């Protein structure tokens, strides 16, 4: 029996270097990270596939289930709405619970919604199922970024964000192609668009279970359900207004005042609830950081461009150009190719240089240009023109989408990683939901206008068609229309979709302008070593350089006993908070400021809240050293300007393992027991023997799962799974069961020579076979790890011999047995 009592919260983060450590303490290799991310990328593939695979099938789906342009856009918007409303909740839950479990739950929700969506009998039922799908997709979208951030440093994350962008691109281009192919296949039909992602999700579940291993931070939690409800209600009411305004009622009407006013009131209540919540879904203090605020706003407008392209291109190619669903997917390849190239290349370059702002700004220019040029398209625009426009748009989205999340993650502490990441994804989804809904309403209005004008221009036949409902806004079946009327419909949809992109272009321009004001801070090279500017409320404009190795810090830095500095001396203030890996403040941590030449310039001791205050003599580069009992010392280079510098310090715990080996029956300590510690791959981490009191101690172990094996003479071996805490000492007790040894030799009755190939069987008092053995040339047999008690020993090979045997203490040694033929 073993118990574990860690001296702190379980969990851990990477010490130094670019990646989270592997089981043996070394940084994870690229191969190990890709194995861990394989299931996550597959889950992301499923999430994106669910959003894009229906795009080319939607005209057929709405035609079969009934509904017009409003139903068309709501099939897309419902999923985006659920995704938007739940993304912050998923992000907050990831800060509180197991990220691995949450991403698996999101996959299960997605699978459930997909199966029921394929059985839909009306557009209303389909929209409801898409809400369920959206909840799962929201979890997958938010958790993918969060899990990557928990494993990989911001500097290296650019490389892997490129892989995520590539997955996004493959799913985005593969979704419409696959959806179109399924829709065009008679024996499948559009319902299989919802079923096809299910096996991928199941495979992702299995792969995640086997490959994704993350530390779990466990603490008392309180989920902000009030905030989740208020933000969902505010966004939902806003989207309902955008969808029906100008169609069911006028833009300026009492319905508009009621819905917009209601959304504002719900939003204000949400802000009030978040300011009072102990565990808010969106911590409002995050927005004190300028980068997070600007990145969120830019993501809002990028979402409009990103989702508008995937939704309205299918209508354009099918209804304006008369293409099949399959060809509709093929013709959007330039946009997806641009997105694939931009996300992959930018990720690789950012990893090498640590610079990201140029990609954001360039992406904003390209998205704006692409959307503006797409606004000029008509039903007869040469395709090669459209291909260039789509490629520009895809390149811009690829440069902006992942990097907006990346620059945000670079700014926050590990405790806020999930919330900050989900905030950016939330605003991107919100932009997509509002954009698709609003642009769908615009398109319905413009297409109806163009159809009515076109049919009226045809003369009496067209006027009659218009009067009978030709401009009603329902999704038409082009194959059943006469040639002149079909041309009018195609022209109307071509012009209407062009108007949609023309309306979306200003949103991209705003995103571009916002990125100009985001201050570039070089990406960190260590996981979780953020300055946490969101908490300090200021932005220094400088980032710490890579910290020197902890092992090189002089040991005497841990003995600083100076009082807490209440006010800095003459100079520029340097202040911040010293925190542990899980975000808790580290009181009494010694913080020392030294020059690059090694001279001590100031020192302080962190207060109960972990806060410290020092003074630098002037602008320049310095080394900041922090040390505390039970933690590894941390050294960082800080660049001080002319104004006060806010710099938070994250200390990694010095984890250890201690315990005692005792006899299970008596509780007496077992001296000289061999204790072996191995990691999850079976590699040896530490060995030692228990002392006179049965005690053993190991220091400097990497946090995470290990196996502790204990072996002692006269006892059964014991193996225990143990989780090493993120800091402090984990204590265990190993209770060994007695393991007596019975051994002897089988000899002949006459010459007493050892007999080979004799069969020896040991039975317990109930007659059950406990063990068996066959002797070798030396005639020896042995049974180990036996409990004390009565046994029966049977030897065969010659006429059998049976005898009783009492095992006590350490067993019986030299229990020889004689076998002989009768008469000997």
pLDDT band at 784 (very low <50, low <70, confident <90, very high): confident
Environment class of 84 (CB within 10 Å of its CB; exposed 0-12, middle 13-18, buried 19+): buried
Q: What is the pLDDT of residues 43-73, one digit of tens each?
A: 777 777 776 677 667 777 877 776 666 676 7
Helix, strand and coil percent figures for the chain, each rounded to 5:
50, 20, 30
Nearest to 329 by CA among 225, 464, 226, 183: 183
Average pLDDT rounded to a whole number, residues 321-329: 78
How far is Cα 100 from Cα 54, in angstroms, rounded to an integer?
A: 28
Q: How is residue 380 written in tokens?
A: 């007869």
> Is the predicted pLDDT of residue 542 greater than 60, yes or no?
no
Predicted confidence at residue 461, as pLDDT, reads 56
pLDDT band at 651 (very low <50, low <70, confident <90, very high): confident
| 3-state DSSP assignment of residue 655 | strand
Whole-structure pTM over 0.85, yes or no?
Answer: no
Q: What is the pLDDT of residues 70-108, one digit of tens each?
A: 676 777 777 777 777 777 677 667 767 777 788 888 888
> Is the predicted pLDDT of residue 624 greater than 80, yes or no?
yes
What spatial distance separates the first Cα and last Cα of the chain, rounded to whole Å? 51
> Is the predicted pLDDT of residue 394 greater than 80, yes or no?
yes
Query: What angle (nearest 5°) sits at the alpha carbon of residue 22, between those of residues 19 and 25?
Result: 100
Cα-Cα-Cα-Cα torsion 372, 376, 378, 380, nearest 10 degrees, comes to -110
276: how many CB neighbours lie within 10 A of its CB?
10
Percent of the residues in the chain that have a pLDDT greater than 70, as a whole number = 72
Please check whether residue 634 is in contact with residue 652, taking contact to mean a CB–CB distance below 8 angstroms. Answer: yes
> Is the predicted pLDDT of residue 708 greater than 70, yes or no?
yes
Phi then psi for residue 786, to 5 deg, are: -100, 145
Give 660's strand partners: 695, 733
Q: What is the pLDDT of residues 344-355, one digit of tens each?
A: 788 778 767 777
Predicted confidence at residue 460, as pLDDT, reads 61
- CATH number given to 17-224+277-515: 1.20.1250.20
539: how many CB neighbours lie within 10 A of its CB?
18
**Pure H helices in 153-289:** 154-184, 192-195, 197-211, 225-244, 254-276
CATH classification of 547-651, choosing from 3.40.50.150, 3.10.20.30, 3.40.50.11900, 2.60.40.10? Answer: 2.60.40.10
Phi then psi for residue 619, to 5 deg, are: -65, 145
pLDDT band at 388 (very low <50, low <70, confident <90, very high): very high
CATH fold match for the domains 547-651 and 655-734: yes
pLDDT higher at 427 or 468: 427
Nearest to 623 by CA among 634, 607, 632: 634
Please compute, for residue 546, the number of CA atoms within 13 A of its CA located in the half-sphere on the CB side.
12
DSSP 701: P
Q: How is residue 13 written in tokens?
A: 């983060």
pLDDT band at 539 (very low <50, low <70, confident <90, very high): very low
Query: What is 655-734's CATH superfamily?
Result: Immunoglobulins (2.60.40.10)
Please check whether residue 338 is in contact with residue 390, taking contact to mean a CB–CB distance below 8 angstroms. Answer: yes
How far is Cα 400 from Cα 358, in angstroms, rounded to an integer?
A: 10
Q: What is the pLDDT of residues 273-302, one digit of tens each?
A: 888 877 676 777 778 778 888 888 888 888
Where in the chain are the domains?
A: 17-224+277-515, 225-276, 547-651, 655-734, 740-819
Strand order in the sheet with 4-6: 4-6, 728-736, 655-663, 695-699
User: Hunting for tokens 């008392």 — which residue is that?
Assistant: 220
Highest CATH level, class, for 740-819: mainly beta
Q: What is the pLDDT of residues 403-458, one digit of tens each?
A: 787 777 776 665 566 667 767 777 877 777 777 777 877 887 888 888 888 877 77
């Amino acid at each position: 029996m073993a118990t574990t009592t860690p001296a702190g919260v379980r969990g851990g983060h990477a010490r130094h270097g670019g990646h989270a450590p592997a089981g043996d303490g070394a940084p994870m290799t690229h191969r190990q990270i890709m194995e861990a991310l394989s299931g996550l990328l597959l889950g992301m593939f499923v999430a994106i596939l669910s959003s894009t695979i229906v795009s080319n099938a939607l005209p057929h789906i709405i035609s079969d289930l009934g509904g017009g342009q409003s139903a068309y856009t709501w099939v897309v918007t419902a999923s985006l709405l659920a995704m938007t409303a739940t993304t912050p909740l998923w992000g907050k839950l990831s800060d509180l619970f197991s990220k691995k479990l949450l991403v698996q739950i999101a996959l299960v929700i997605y699978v459930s919604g997909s199966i029921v969506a394929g059985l839909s009998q009306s557009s209303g039922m389909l929209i409801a199922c898409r809400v369920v799908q959206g909840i799962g997709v929201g979890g997958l979208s938010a958790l993918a970024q969060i899990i990557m951030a928990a494993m990989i440093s911001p500097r290296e994350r650019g490389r892997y964000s490129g892989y995520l962008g590539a997955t996004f691109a493959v799913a985005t281009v593969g979704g419409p192609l696959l959806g179109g192919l399924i829709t065009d296949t008679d024996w499948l039909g559009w319902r299989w668009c919802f079923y096809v992602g299910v096996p991928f999700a199941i495979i992702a579940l299995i792969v995640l279970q086997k490959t994704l291993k993350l530390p779990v931070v466990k603490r008392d939690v309180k989920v902000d359900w009030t905030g989740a409800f208020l933000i969902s209600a505010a966004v939902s009411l806003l989207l309902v207004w955008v969808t029906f305004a100008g169609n069911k009622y006028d833009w300026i009407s009492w319905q508009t005042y009621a819905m917009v006013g209601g959304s504002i009131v719900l939003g204000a209540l949400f802000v009030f609830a978040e300011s009072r919540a102990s565990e808010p879904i969106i911590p409002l203090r995050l927005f004190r950081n300028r980068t997070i605020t600007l990145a969120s706003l830019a993501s809002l407008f990028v979402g409009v461009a990103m989702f508008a392209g995937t939704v309205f291109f299918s209508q354009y190619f099918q209804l304006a150009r008369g293409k099949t669903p399959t060809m509709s997917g093929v013709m959007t390849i330039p946009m997806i190719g641009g997105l694939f190239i931009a996300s992959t290349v930018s990720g690789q370059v950012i990893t090498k240089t640590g610079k990201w702002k140029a990609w954001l700004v360039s992406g904003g220019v390209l998205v704006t240009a692409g959307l503006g040029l797409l606004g000029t398209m008509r039903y007869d625009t040469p395709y090669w023109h459209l291909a260039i426009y789509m490629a520009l748009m895809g390149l811009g989205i690829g440069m902006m989408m992942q990097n907006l999340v990346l620059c945000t993650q670079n700014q926050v502490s590990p405790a806020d990683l999930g919330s900050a990441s989900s905030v950016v994804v939330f605003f991107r989804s919100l932009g997509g939901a509002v954009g698709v809904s609003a642009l769908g309403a615009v398109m319905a209005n413009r297409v109806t206008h163009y159809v009515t004008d076109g049919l009226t221009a045809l003369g009496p036949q067209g006027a009659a068609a218009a009067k009978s409902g030709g401009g009603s806004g329902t999704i038409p079946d082009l194959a059943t229309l006469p040639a002149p009327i079909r041309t009018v419909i195609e022209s109307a949809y071509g012009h209407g979709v062009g108007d949609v992109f023309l309306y979306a272009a200003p949103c991209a321009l705003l995103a571009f302008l916002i990125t100009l004001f985001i201050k570039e801070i070089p990406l960190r090279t260590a996981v979780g070593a953020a300055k946490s500017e969101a908490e300090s409320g200021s932005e220094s404009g400088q980032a710490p350089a890579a910290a020197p190795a902890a092992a090189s810090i002089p040991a005497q830095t841990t003995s600083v006993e100076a009082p807490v500095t209440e006010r800095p001396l003459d100079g520029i203030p340097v202040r911040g908070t010293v925190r542990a890996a899980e975000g808790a403040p580290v009181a009494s941590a010694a913080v020392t400021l030294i020059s690059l030449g090694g001279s001590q310039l100031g020192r302080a001791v962190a207060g109960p809240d972990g806060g410290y205050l020092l003074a630098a003599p002037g602008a320049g580069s310095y080394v900041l050293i922090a040390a505390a009992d039970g933690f590894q010392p941390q050294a960082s280079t800080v660049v001080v300007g002319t104004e006060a510098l806010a710099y938070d310090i994250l200390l990694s715990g010095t984890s250890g393992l201690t315990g005692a080996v005792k006899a299970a029956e008596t509780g007496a300590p077992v001296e000289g027991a061999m204790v072996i510690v191995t990691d999850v791959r079976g590699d040896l981490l530490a060995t030692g023997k228990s002392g006179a009191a049965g005690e053993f101690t190991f220091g400097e172990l990497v946090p995470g799962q290990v196996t502790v094996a204990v072996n002692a003479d006269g006892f059964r071996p014991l193996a225990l799974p143990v989780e090493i805490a993120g800091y402090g000492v984990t204590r265990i007790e190993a209770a060994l069961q007695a393991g007596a040894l019975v051994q002897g030799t089988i000899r002949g009755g006459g010459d007493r020579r050892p007999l080979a190939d004799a069969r020896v069987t040991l039975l317990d008092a109930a007659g059950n076979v406990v063990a068996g053995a066959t002797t070798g040339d030396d005639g020896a047999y042995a049974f180990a790890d036996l409990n004390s008690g009565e046994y029966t020993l049977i030897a065969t090979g010659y006429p059998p011999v049976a005898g009783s045997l009492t095992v006590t203490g350490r067993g019986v040694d030299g229990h020889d047995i004689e076998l002989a033929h009768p008469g000997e």
